[in-house]
Amino acid sequence: MSRPASNAAAKPVFKWHILVFLAPAVLVYTAVMIYPLFNTLRLALYTTIDRERVFAGLDNFRTLFGDPNWSGQFWNALGNNFWFFLIHMLVQNPIGVALAAILSSRRLRFAALYRSAIFIPTILSFVIVGFAWKLILSPIWGIAPGMLDAIGLKFLYAPWLGKEEYALTTLALVSVWQFVGIPMMLIYAALLSIPDEILEAGECDGITGMAAFWKIKLPLILPSIGIISILTFVANFNAFDLIYAAQGALAGPDFATDILGTFLYRTFFGFQLQLGDPNMGSAIASAMFGIILIGVCLYLFVIQRRLRSYQF
């Protein structure tokens, strides 16, 4: 007699409970993120004529990139955004890696206290940070001139937030001060996850101290550094709060601190004598989405592959 088919060959049972648990999160994410995204892309394809919405195709993008009244502001904001991001990449992330390496040392006392003190600014409100540093750096009632004068360096002081050539860099460094704790903690966790056996094997070969960090630890935490880099890219091209809190929607002086976030705000909602234009604002938001998407794709398909091949 032929034996019945085994249970392994039986048709798999669909696990409905997975859908039940995922459905609330998917619905909330769709309502809060997916639908607004596609609605923004849709609005960018329309314009308003005599209070009626008319399909315009890519005309809003042609205006944004080619019309002198719009393109100058857009390219200025985009260039400022790249500079804002570059400072975070060249200052914030290396400092975060260095702090993590120092705080992961077993010989350092009160390491937990130092980690907490460095991470506390991260949880502060953008508004608080923006106004606080605006007061600190003020040439009239700020404490920065007095502190520099106390150590004989008052000649270095300048109204950094009031000069076009310094304002954006100053705000970028303020943002670095606030968020350096994030790469520090992520790299710190990556360093702690390195097996002791690898470090002990390096010690047997005479690799200790800084040599152990450069030759053993750094290659192992490269994937974490890559993730921090793409998170920095996304966060900086979505930045808005600090610039708005410190310099206002006009991002002065003379739009020297204007980034895509503040440019989008003025265009979409209007500000002072400028009337709001949701369609052009949606075009700017769509351009921002495209820039971020290109950056993320470059990371996923180019940089991450090389990091994996280097690691393994």
- Examine residue 230 and state whether it is found in any structural domain, yes or no: yes
Mean pLDDT for the chain overall: 89
Residue pLDDT, tens place only, 74-119: 999 999 999 999 999 999 999 999 999 999 888 888 888 999 999 9
pLDDT value at 56 more than 80: yes
Output the pTM of the full model: 0.88
* Residues paired with residue 54 on neighbouring β-strands, in sequence order: 47
pLDDT value at 50 more than 90: no
Contacts (Cβ under 8 Å, ≥6 apart) of 187: 96, 97, 100, 101, 221, 224, 225, 228
Q: How far apart are CA 217 and CA 111, in angstroms?
A: 19
- Examine residue 294 and state whether it is found in any structural domain, yes or no: yes
Provide, rounded to the nearest whole percent, the portion of the chain with pLDDT above 90: 60
pLDDT value at 168 more than 60: yes
- The pLDDT score that the predictor gives to residue 282 is 95
pLDDT value at 3 more than 80: no
- Examine residue 28 and state whether it is found in any structural domain, yes or no: no
- Examine residue 8 and state whether it is found in any structural domain, yes or no: no
How would residue 308 be classed by pLDDT, with cut points 50, 70 and 90?
Answer: low
- Examine residue 63 and state whether it is found in any structural domain, yes or no: no
Q: What is the mean pLDDT of residues 231-236?
A: 94
- Examine residue 216 and state whether it is found in any structural domain, yes or no: yes
- Examine residue 12 and state whether it is found in any structural domain, yes or no: no
Can you give the CATH number for the domain in which 176 is found?
A: 1.10.3720.10
- Examine residue 199 and state whether it is found in any structural domain, yes or no: yes
Q: What is the mean pLDDT of residues 127-131?
A: 92
pLDDT value at 8 more than 80: no
- The pLDDT score that the predictor gives to residue 158 is 87
Q: What is the mean pLDDT of residues 289-303?
A: 89
Around Cβ 77, how many Cβ atoms within 10 Å?
Answer: 23
Q: How far apart are CA 293 and CA 37, in angstroms?
A: 13
pLDDT value at 233 more than 80: yes
Q: What is the mean pLDDT of residues 47-67?
A: 90
Our count of domains for the chain comes to 1
The boundaries of the domain holding residue 238 are 69-311
- The pLDDT score that the predictor gives to residue 38 is 93
Q: Among 4-18, 81-95, 164-178, 247-261, which stretch is predicted with the lowest mean pLDDT?
A: 4-18
Residue pLDDT, tens place only, 252-283: 899 999 999 999 999 999 988 788 899 999 99
Q: What is the mean pLDDT of residues 6-17?
A: 68
How would residue 140 be classed by pLDDT, with cut points 50, 70 and 90?
Answer: confident
